[in-house]
Amino acid sequence: MNTLPKGMLIDLDDTILAFDTVSDESWESTLQEFQHQLLPVEATVLHAAIKVSAKRFWSDPARHQMGRMRLLWARTQIVGEAMDSINLHNPELAAAIAHVYETIRTDRIHPVEGAIDTLKALRERQIRMVLVTNGDAPGQRRKIERFHLPALFDAILIEGECGVGKPDARIYHRALDALKMPPEDVWMVGDNLEWEVRGPQKLGIRGVWVNHRGIDLPPDGPVPYKIIRSLRELLQ
């Protein structure tokens, strides 16, 4: 078994819970419900436009920070822009689509296979853990409570509750304070190279990249201490 650290900072979305991975299927189900209101445009055409709009929206760090704190607003903006791009200007319909999508996607969020069991096993090994997640407080807290995660962590830090999130150095310092450990004794584990690798490693925390998509490491990206496909590989 690999030597494990004394402490871990662990991400939530697409590390413990499947979040982005349920996006496409959620959009497909949502848009099928609205197909008759989209005619003569096919739902698949709007879905493709939404992907383009979403990529543009989330690519800007400032907009990303604002959007993740107001997800329904962000999704309404994304759908509206996508509809405009295919000559379907209808703000009321865009808002309705975004609302239904949020409900469907929330219902489909589920634990990544093996993630909860891995957290329990780490807990049994007396590894101290802090959950560190970006996003709005009510939405993230609901997910955390829904899957009974509080009992598995020594502390939970949510951007919307803390007033600061990854990759701001203050959130990592706050997590280290919660662990009462120096950075060299701690790993940060998650799927975002900027938030879970580059940011933490500037402070001496070892970054473990959860590469659940199986993509190549970007040539201009940070070099993770470890690369895994899922949390359960931490125990292998």
What's 189's domain CATH number?
3.40.50.1000
Residue 170 pLDDT > 70, yes or no?
yes
As a whole number, mean pLDDT of residues 115-144 equals 97
Residue 20 has pLDDT above 50, yes or no: yes
Q: pLDDT of 59-114, one tens digit each?
A: 999 999 999 999 999 999 999 999 999 999 999 999 999 999 999 999 999 999 99
- 90 and 165 belong to one structural domain: no
Are both 78 and 187 inside the same structural domain?
no
Whether residues 59 and 73 fall in one domain: yes
Percent of the chain at pLDDT above 70?
Answer: 99
Domains held by the chain: number: 2
- pLDDT band at residue 1, thresholds of 50, 70 and 90? very low
pLDDT digits 0-9 by tens, 204-229: 999 999 999 999 999 998 999 999 99
Same structural domain, 121 and 209: yes
178 plus 139 within the same structural domain: yes
Say what the pLDDT of residue 2 is.
Answer: 62
Residues 14 and 127 in one domain: yes
User: Residue 161: what pLDDT?
Assistant: 97
| DSSP string covering 107-168 | HH-EEPTTHHHHHHHHHHTT-EEEEEE-S-HHHHHHHHHHTT-GGG-SEEEEHHHHS--TTS
Domain that holds residue 172: 7-18+110-235
Residues 228, 122 share a domain = yes
At residue 140, the pLDDT reads 97
- By 3-state DSSP, what share of the chain in percent is helix, strand and coil, each rounded to 5? 55, 15, 30
pLDDT score at 71: 95
| 1 within domain boundaries | no
Q: Is the pLDDT of residue 134 over 70?
A: yes
Domain ends where: 77, 108, 139?
Answer: 108
